[in-house]
Structures are given as structure tokens and as C-alpha cells.
């Protein structure tokens, strides 16, 4: 057994009433995969550096949430929301007729995993949460933000109408790397921004060598599902005996004291709960994938072990060297850059 390759994937399109959900299914496509969900304003490229470190006996289906990456936008006048995104998990399961789902989510994707697992614990067999656990807590600021986002959503509706007539502002790839890095609060370094840009930009028809962001601007102001401490605790109580792995970036504050009660509940009632902190930013899985893989791979091997038929007779495993993994990632990025240049 070895590790997954970024070159071994199938692009998929999952039907939705408003269009489709785009995804890439890496590795084994004969068994139910891990469903990987990215964070807010990102796309499935967020898992590019982690994928080559995961065991190849499993498949990983990475999807773009609606309005992100290559997935369809919601129709004009509709509003993005946390619960609409949670429903995407159920839509994917229905498409492939999965009785259960294995979830891996970063940031917003981790929140969606937490909510869905609390709502339907009998349909989830494991969760990997990357630098997140509970949804944002209900505070006076959160309520103010909801009001602000409603107004901004209307502005984005008008901007979308203008963009259908006039091309949005465009930038060079170097400028886009800087913009994306700053937008992530420097969680994603400019040299890693390309992993997210190749599914988030379109080539300008007016200016050679320039690109513009193609994601739906309304996603910036989606309706967050705020919860209070008692509700977050009750959600945690519903997640019993469920393999649940949390990896926190040491330089990130997305998992803070507000999550302590939920973590305490999961730790006390769940013998399969794991919590680890590794050096890194909020995008620790993208920036330091090897540190995350040290915990993710044993977790997967324990809770989603390979079928007996896939074991080698001598018990030896094939492993890509770190140099080979980096070369694979570099070649992958080179192809995406070439693809952008031909748009």
C-alpha cells in the first residue's frame, strides 16, 4: 500500500436543482470515499498538499461548495446559508447511495461536518475536523454581522448583474496571490495561493495575462448559523462513540475557549475522540500537511482499515519519498498554471 496521487482523479459533477456540485474523486473509486469539504471562500484545491500523503487504499472525494470553485452558483435572488451547505452532504450521499459518510472538513467544512454529525449521527462513521469544531457562537456582534451581510448581499446581487455586462476587475497572477494571501489573513502564503486560485479565477477577455475572481461574490456574506453554548454542548452529546479527530493549528484562534465544553463532552463520552495541536496557521493542512498526516493516516487506518484482500503477503508497504511527493505536487501546479494560461 502506498499513498494517493494528485494525478489519479476523476472530475465529477453531482446534479443539483440549480446546476451541479463539482468535485474531484482521488484514488480508489470502487469503495465509498472520504468526503472532503473546504473552508469559506476556498475550494477543493485546499487539499492538494494533503492528498499525496493519504493512504491509497481509500478514495477521497473533494467537492466545491455551491458558489465556490467550479460548482454552480445559486440562482439570482437566493441567499447562501450554513444549512444550505449542510444539505450538500446529504445531496452527495443521495447521488452515490451511501448509507453512511466519512467526513473531512476544514473551517466551514469542519463546521458543516459537526452540524451534520449532530443531526444524523447514525449516518456518519468518522469525522476529521481541521482547525475548527463548533459553529460561531451567538453574540451581539454576530447578530450585527448578520444584518450587515444581508445588506451586502443585495449589493452583490447588483454587482452580479453588472458583471454579466461588464467584466469584473482583473489582476495578474502575482497580484492575485497577494490578494488571496491577505484575504486569508496570511494563513495561506502567496507561494501556496495557486492551490486555491486555479479553481477560483477566470482569464480576462480584455487584458492578456490578467485574471479575475470567478467565485460568487454572495458567498462572502452567507447566513451563518450562530449557536449558543448550551446548543453546542447538546450537539456534542449527540456525537457518541463516533471516531472524531480534531487538528488545531497552533497559530490559529478558530478553536478557542468557547469550544472547551463541547470538546470536554466529546472527550468524556467518546473513546474514539482525538485532539491534537500542530505548529501552523488556520490552513495548517495546506501549509504543513505532513504534520497533519502524522495523525490523520493512523486515524484512517484504524477506523477505515483496508480490506484484507488489499494486504500484501509480506506486510511491506510502498511509500513515496517526501521528495517524490513534492515533485508530484510541483508537476500538478505546473499543469494548472498552463491550464490558466490557455483559458
Q: Is 172 helix (H, G, I), strand (E, B) or coil?
A: coil
Asked if the model's pLDDT at residue 337 lies above 80, the reply is no
pLDDT of residue 319: 45
| Grid coordinates belonging to 106 | 476544514
Integer distance in angstroms from the first to the last C-alpha of the chain?
A: 37
241 CB-contact burial (10 Å; exposed 0-12 / middle 13-18 / buried 19+): exposed
| Grid coordinates belonging to 77 | 435572488
Q: Is residue 1 part of a domain?
A: no
- In the numeric block, the cell 451581510 is attached to 149
The residues assigned a catalytic role are: 107
Asked if the model's pLDDT at residue 315 lies above 60, the reply is no
pLDDT in tens, 45-73: 999 999 999 999 999 999 999 999 999 99
Residue 180 to residue 190: CA distance in whole angstroms: 7
- In the numeric block, the cell 498552463 is attached to 338
Residue 303 to residue 290: CA distance in whole angstroms: 20
pLDDT of residue 318: 44
Q: What percent of the chain has pLDDT over 70?
A: 90
| Grid coordinates belonging to 173 | 497572477
CB neighbours of 324 closer than 8 A, spacing ≥ 6?
Answer: none
| Grid coordinates belonging to 274 | 482525538
What's the number of domains the chain is made of? 1
Q: Are 62 and 131 in contact (CB under 8 A)?
A: no
Residue 59 to residue 316: CA distance in whole angstroms: 21
Which range, 85-89, 226-230, 316-320, has the best average confidence (pLDDT)?
85-89
Q: Is residue 4 part of a domain?
A: no
| Grid coordinates belonging to 285 | 493542512
Nearest to 56 by CA among 288, 297, 289: 297
At 274, which helix (H) or strand (E)? strand 273-278
Nearest to 106 by CA among 287, 233, 260, 336: 287
Q: Is residue 264 part of a domain?
A: yes
| Grid coordinates belonging to 257 | 475557549
pLDDT in tens, 169-228: 899 999 999 999 999 999 999 999 999 999 999 999 999 899 999 999 999 999 888 888
| Grid coordinates belonging to 25 | 474523486
pLDDT of residue 21: 98
Asked if the model's pLDDT at residue 317 lies above 90, the reply is no
Alpha carbon separation from 161 to 41, 70, 158, 216 (Å, rounded): 21, 20, 5, 12
Nearest to 249 by CA among 126, 157, 131: 131
Task: Residue 233: give the domain boundaries.
Answer: 9-341
pLDDT in tens, 265-309: 999 999 999 999 999 999 999 999 999 999 999 999 999 999 876
Q: Are 121 and 234 in contact (CB under 8 A)?
A: no
Residue 20 to residue 36: CA distance in whole angstroms: 17
Q: Are 45 and 333 in contact (CB under 8 A)?
A: no
Residue 110, domain CATH = 3.40.50.1820
Amino acid at each position: 500500500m502506498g499513498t494517493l496521487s494528485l494525478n489519479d482523479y476523476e472530475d465529477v459533477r453531482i446534479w443539483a436543482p440549480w446546476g451541479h456540485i463539482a468535485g474531484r474523486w482521488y484514488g480508489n473509486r470502487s469503495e465509498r470515499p472520504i468526503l472532503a469539504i473546504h473552508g469559506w471562500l476556498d475550494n477543493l484545491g485546499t487539499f492538494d498538499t494533503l492528498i499525496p500523503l493519504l493512504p491509497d487504499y481509500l478514495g477521497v472525494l473533494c467537492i466545491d461548495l455551491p458558489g465556490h470553485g467550479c460548482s454552480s452558483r445559486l440562482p439570482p435572488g437566493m441567499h447562501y446559508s450554513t444549512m444550505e451547505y449542510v444539505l450538500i452532504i446529504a445531496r452527495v450521499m443521495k447521488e452515490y447511495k451511501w448509507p453512511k459518510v466519512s467526513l473531512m472538513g476544514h473551517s466551514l467544512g469542519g463546521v458543516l461536518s459537526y452540524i451534520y454529525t449532530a443531526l444524523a449521527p447514525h449516518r456518519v462513521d468518522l469525522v476529521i475536523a481541521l482547525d475548527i469544531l463548533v459553529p460561531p457562537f451567538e453574540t451581539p456582534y454576530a447578530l450585527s454581522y448578520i444584518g450587515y451581510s444581508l445588506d451586502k448581499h443585495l449589493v452583490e446581487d447588483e454587482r452580479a448583474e453588472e458583471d454579466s455586462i461588464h467584466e469584473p476587475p482583473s489582476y495578474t497572477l502575482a497580484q492575485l496571490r497577494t490578494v488571496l494571501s491577505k484575504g486569508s489573513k496570511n494563513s495561506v502564503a502567496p507561494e501556496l495561493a495557486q492551490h486555491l486560485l486555479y479553481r477560483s479565477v477566470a482569464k480576462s477577455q480584455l487584458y492578456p495575462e490578467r485574471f479575475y475572481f470567478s467565485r460568487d461574490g454572495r458567498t462572502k456574506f452567507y447566513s451563518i448559523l450562530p449557536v449558543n453554548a448550551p446548543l453546542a454542548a447538546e450537539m456534542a452529546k449527540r456525537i457518541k462513540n463516533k471516531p472524531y479527530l480534531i487538528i488545531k493549528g497552533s497559530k490559529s484562534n478558530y478553536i478557542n475557549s468557547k469550544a472547551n465544553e463541547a470538546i470536554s463532552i466529546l472527550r468524556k463520552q467518546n473513546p474514539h475522540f482525538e485532539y491534537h495541536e500542530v505548529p501552523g496557521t488556520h490552513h495548517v493542512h495546506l501549509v504543513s500537511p505532513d504534520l497533519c498526516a502524522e495523525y490523520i493516516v493512523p486515524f484512517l487506518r484504524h477506523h477505515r482499515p483496508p480490506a484484507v484482500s488489499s494486504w500484501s503477503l509480506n506486510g511491506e508497504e510502498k511509500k513515496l519519498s517526501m521528495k517524490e511527493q513534492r515533485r508530484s505536487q510541483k508537476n500538478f501546479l505546473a499543469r494548472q498554471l498552463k491550464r490558466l494560461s490557455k483559458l
